[in-house]
Amino acid sequence: MSHNDWLAITLTLKLAGLTTLILLLIGTPLAWWLAHTRIRIKPILEAVIALPLVLPPTVLGFYLLIAFAPNSGIAQLWQFLTGGTLAFSFSALVIASVLYSLPFVVQPLQSGFQQLPKPLIDTAASLGAGPIDRFFSVILPLCRSNFLVASTLGFAHTVGEFGVVLMIGGNIPGQTQVLSIALYERVESLQYETAHWMAGGLIAFSLLVLSIVYLVNNYRGLTSLAHNSETAK
């Protein structure tokens, strides 16, 4: 593998890690709000968040490319604040990845928050625990498996992105060329040996991610079954 290939791997891990962190920071309060709000347009908001699950990634990439064009208000504001362009930059990859992977983080967290025993949270509040204290001492331990699944899916989905990052970031080695794009380039140039290594690594990584998700879900199911059995006794 060439130097550019290793740069693509490093850039992919950097993008996935940063995207996952941002998704957890914005996805946690969003999932909590969705789990407890009774606003009438909640189904519409959930549909908007889940849209990347069914929307072709090139569609999202196309509209982001238009939004980040040099003459757009967003791009001009970005250039004023940072001094650089937004389209075909690493920052554009991060923004696109956050939008495209949002449902993979929000949905597992929302599911976990909806299943929380409300009396337990009310008891913690009655004992003087503030919102932040309740989150770290009660909510986070009870939903740790949901956070693990959300983080794993968000990270893995970002690693596997292709269409949206190609549209908004192009193929600049060391700057926007992530692993999936590097793989596509190797296939186009008939470098099949390197492509095999890349594809095999992605397959192994995907299998590992799915194994983690299913192991966590099975553990949650066994724990819930054991708890119900103890309650029945």
pLDDT for 11-65, tens place per residue? Answer: 999 999 999 999 999 999 999 999 999 999 999 999 999 999 999 999 999 999 9
pLDDT of residue 141: 87
- % of the chain at pLDDT higher than 70: 93
Dihedral over Cα of 35, 37, 43, 48: its sign: negative
pTM of model > 0.75: yes
Domain boundaries, the chain: 3-232
Q: pLDDT category, 225, cuts 50, 70, 90?
A: very low
pLDDT digits (tens, 9 = 90+) for 122-148: 788 787 778 888 888 888 888 888 998
- Tokens representing 15 are 């993008």
69, 75 Cβ separation under 8 angstroms: yes
Contact of 223 with 146, CB cutoff 8 Å = no
> What number is the average pLDDT over the span 72-94?
90
Please give the Cα distance from 154 to 26 (Å, whole number).
Answer: 13
What pLDDT is recorded for position 224? 52
Which residues, including other chains, have CB under 8 Å from residue 58's CB and lie 6 or more apart? 163, 164, 167
For domain 3-232, the CATH architecture is Orthogonal Bundle (1.10)
For 149, phi then psi, to 5°, come to -65, -45
Residue 226's pLDDT band (cuts 50, 70, 90): very low
| Confidence tier at 82 by pLDDT (50, 70, 90) | confident
N-to-C CA span, the chain: 60
Cβ–Cβ < 8 Å for 114, 66: no
Q: Which residues contact 42 (CB under 8 A, 6 or more apart)?
A: 34
Nearest to residue 61, comparing CAs of 178, 177, 165, 215?
A: 165
The answer, yes or no, to whether residue 106 has pLDDT greater than 50, is yes
pLDDT of residue 220: 61
Other C-beta atoms within 10 Å of 121: how many? 16
Token pair recorded at residue 72: 């757009």
Q: How far is CA 179 from CA 4, 43, 159, 186, in A?
A: 10, 35, 8, 10
